[in-house]
Amino acid sequence: MSATIAEPIDIAIVGAGAVGLAAALALSREGRSVALLGPVATPRDGRTVALLDGSWRFLTELGLQDALLEKSAPLATMRLVDDSGSLFRQPPVEFRASEIELEAFGWNVENADLTAILAEKAGAIPGLRLIPGLVRAIEPETGAVRLSGDGFAPLLARLVVGADGRNSQVRAAAGIHAKDWRYPQVALTAIFEHRRAHRETSTEFHTRQGPCTIVPLPGRRSSLVWLLEPEEAEAVAALDDAAFALRVERQLQSLLGSMTVQGPRGKIPMGGLSVERFAAGRMALVGEAAHVFPPIGAQGLNLGLRDVAALHDALAGASDAGGEGVIADYDQARRTDVRLRTGAVDVLNRTLLTDLLPADLLRGAGLLALSSIGPLRRFVMRQGLASGTER
Ligand SMILES: Cc1cc2nc3c(=O)[nH]c(=O)nc-3n(C[C@H](O)[C@H](O)[C@H](O)COP(=O)(O)OP(=O)(O)OC[C@H]3O[C@@H](n4cnc5c(N)ncnc54)[C@H](O)[C@@H]3O)c2cc1C
């Protein structure tokens, strides 16, 4: 039998990953009662996130700019290299932030540092309840949702935000159907020190097995995300640090000179997930609870932060945080942006994985157009950074 529960709070956020923490900071700013449930984990596995311009501005508004600047490197240039061996192989395409009057496309930061910075800020907000236990049961009631779990007394919330990642329990409780798929790829992640300066340039090599991307970090350091077929990924991951660094240096055509691995490395199977709707019955999904795709074009977490911004907007002026208007507005607001980006990343990834001539030809023509047509290149750059919140 559960204990008697006090009055419902306005918002309970399940999941204290980067997106859940950002949601807690953003949604607790307007005097609503907010609780964030779940343990904060900051494991280091060589993973970084490129926070694109819109996310950077959003996190700056939350007062995080100084802390983030210390730990991140600007991305002033992004370079795409066709390394697919295709018949229609094109010369590298370079995008410079200065072409669209920006200092940088975004800033690259270790996942663990970002989460730690968000968690520290969340801990300093009076009135934001941080509950480190896992949520075990989510039960809709009239006018609220009941949450119970490890180490906390059950609570009622008018709105439950599912920031609980790919296997979201909130999504299941809301009865939201998800489509889940796998790619024949595994991502290897690592952080390197290297001899040559990166010149604030990130380079994405498009290979037959997927992209291999190297992204600047502060100093002579960069992070790697390398998508490989599972068997090859296993073989490369089994190399010791020195042999792994040599293999990566070769793959990057010695772009950054000799390299040394810094800290633990990661290995993540690639998949995708999309949902039929983004909110239902007093529950709203944000981050990987609502969308998952491979790390191409630095979109995943950026999209998650835009979910948070859209939910914040949908809540503006609402007397009931989980009322029908908020749920419908949020669902509507996220449809186009999320579907467009999930589709675009999926298509690009699949054209790399196939060696069908039409796909190669299309990709080759696309790259050629990007490198030679300035206005198109600037349009694509703006779309890559677009907030997707034009509603
Ligand atoms: C190799 C790689 C590189 C990437 N690079 C980029 C990039 O450059 N730019 C970008 O924008 N994105 C990038 N992404 C995507 C980005 O990392 C993810 O979108 C983001 O980390 C997802 O955050 P999240 O908070 O939604 O989910 P998660 O980080 O999965 O967090 C979910 C949290 O919920 C908690 N949880 C789950 N169930 C419960 C429960 N029952 N009760 C309480 N808590 C619970 C978990 O413990 C976890 O802390 C990359 C991804 C990969 C794999």
User: What pLDDT does residue 22 have?
Assistant: 98
User: What pLDDT does residue 1 have?
Assistant: 43
15 C-beta closer than 6 A to ligand 1: yes
User: What pLDDT does residue 388 have?
Assistant: 43
**Protein residue whose Cα sits closest to atom 17 of ligand 1:** 301
Strand boundaries in the chain, DSSP class E: 9-14, 34-37, 48-52, 73-75, 77-82, 93-96, 106-110, 128-131, 135-141, 144-149, 152-162, 178-194, 201-207, 210-217, 221-228, 259-275, 279-280, 283-285, 291-292
User: What pLDDT does residue 144 have?
Assistant: 97
* pTM, entire model: 0.89
Among 42, 139, 164, which is best to mutate for testing ligand 1, by the most ligand atoms less than 8 A from CB?
164
**Protein residue whose Cα sits closest to atom 52 of ligand 1:** 295
User: What pLDDT does residue 351 have?
Assistant: 65
Return contacts of 92-100, CB within 8 angstroms, 24+ apart: 92/371, 93/367, 93/370, 93/371, 93/377, 94/371, 95/377, 95/380, 95/381, 97/381, 99/374, 99/377, 99/378, 99/381, 100/378, 100/381, 100/382, 100/385
Domains and CATH numbers, the chain: 9-50+112-180+270-359 (3.50.50.60)
> Nearest-CA neighbor of 299 among 54, 13, 22?
54
333 alpha carbon – ligand 1 mean position (Å) = 21
50 C-beta closer than 6 A to ligand 1: yes
Tens-of-pLDDT digits for all 391 residues of the chain? 444 567 899 999 999 999 999 999 999 998 899 999 999 988 889 999 999 888 999 999 999 999 999 999 999 998 988 877 665 566 778 889 888 888 888 899 999 999 999 999 999 998 899 999 999 999 999 999 999 999 999 999 999 999 999 999 999 999 999 999 898 899 999 999 999 999 999 998 888 888 899 999 999 999 999 999 999 999 999 999 999 999 999 999 999 999 999 999 999 999 889 999 999 999 999 999 999 988 776 678 999 999 999 999 999 999 999 999 999 999 999 988 777 777 777 776 666 665 555 555 555 656 555 555 566 556 666 666 555 433 3
